[in-house]
Structure 1
Amino acid sequence: MRTYIGSHEAANAAEFEELALGFDELPAGIDVDLFRGPLAPETLQERAARLDVAREVIADLAAQGEGGDEVAAWDALYADALTRTVPFLRSARAAGRFSGAGEAA
Structure 2
Amino acid sequence: MRTYVGDQEAATTAEFVELAFGFDDGPVGIDRELFVGPMWPETDEERAARLDVAREVLEDLREAAAAGDDVAGWDALYAEQLTQTVPLLRSAARAGRSSGTGEAA
TM-score (norm 2): 0.68
| Unpaired stretches in structure 2, ≥5 consecutive residues | 1-6, 9-17, 98-105
Is 2:56 the counterpart of 1:56?
yes
Percent of aligned positions that are identical: 57
**How big is the shift at 1:95?**
1.4
The one-letter code of the counterpart of 1:52 is D
Q: Give 1:32's aligned residue.
A: 32
| Unpaired stretches in structure 1, ≥5 consecutive residues | 3-12, 19-23, 98-105
**How big is the shift at 1:31?**
1.8
Counterparts of 1:62 and 1:79, CA distance in 2 = 10
For residues 14-64 of structure 1, the C-alpha deviation after alignment (integer angstroms, 9 at most, x for no partner) is 8x435xxxxx82225x42100000000001111111000000000000100
Is 2:95 the counterpart of 1:95?
yes
TM-score (norm 1): 0.68
- RMSD between aligned residues: 2.0
Counterparts of 1:25 and 1:55, CA distance in 2 = 18
